[in-house]
Amino acid sequence: MRLIDSHCHLDDAQFDSDREAAIERAGAAGVETMLAVGTGNGPPDLEAGIRLAEGHRQMVASVGVHPHDAAKATPESFERLRELLAHPKVVAIGEIGLDYHYNFSPPEVQREVFARQLELAREAARPVIIHTREAWADTLRMLEEARLASGIMHCFSGGPEEAERTLALGFHISFAGVVTFPKALRVQAAARMVPLDRLLIETDAPYLAPVPHRGKRNEPAFVVETARKVAELRDAPVEAIAAATADNFKRLVGLPV
């Protein structure tokens, strides 16, 4: 079975004791590619994903300022992001977006930083990886105004209505461990209706481990459980979901299929 983890944070300190072992376990589980999300601890360091990807042939990277870190961004941050987009391992801008649950950065600052990064994505013709929490209205409005060519709604937490608006943008929708949670009925309904060619899966490791690992540290090898649940919801073979989501990701970011 061919799998891709389209979103993981292997730079996180939770992997300091066994990072290489976790990468090996992913390979043993069939994970052929992992996207190392490059938000790290925020500016001025914007290269967390690149550092990982440079040392591992099976990794690609993204760069971006997470909404939690928006208040740390400076004009120099955006110039550095523009430079890093030329790195051969960088395939996307993210994760970026809005998070009104924690408001670690003021909402108005989040929106300003989000808008600047959407401009960079448009200039560079790169996909964006979107984080949204308790901010659907503003996130979708800003994306609709930005008119980008492509993107990923990461760790999808909405229902069919949010999925329809996301698909109308031309975006892919990525499901994480949340889709395996018994009470996540709206997310599961969305997973049933997303067209197969717009479907992605991810772990968001070390967060949101899927059933049966819920409550533990997540890792890329566990993406197989998300594939199984999505396959069950769609009454499809898990191998078909794994292959389709792998090929979808590769096409989206320009990797050979």
Question: What pTM, to 2 d.p., does this model score?
Answer: 0.96
pLDDT at 182: 97
Q: Which residues of the chain have pLDDT under 70?
A: none
Q: How far is CA 69 from the centre of its chain?
A: 17
pLDDT at 120: 97
Question: Do the Cβ atoms of 36 and 10 come closer than 8 Å?
Answer: yes
In whole angstroms, what is the distance from residue 249 CA to residue 173 CA? 11
CATH number of 3-253: 3.20.20.140
Tell me the C-alpha to C-alpha distance, in Å, between residue 16 and each of 13, 20, 113. 5, 9, 30
SS3 241: helix
Q: How far is CA 106 from the centre of its chain?
A: 23
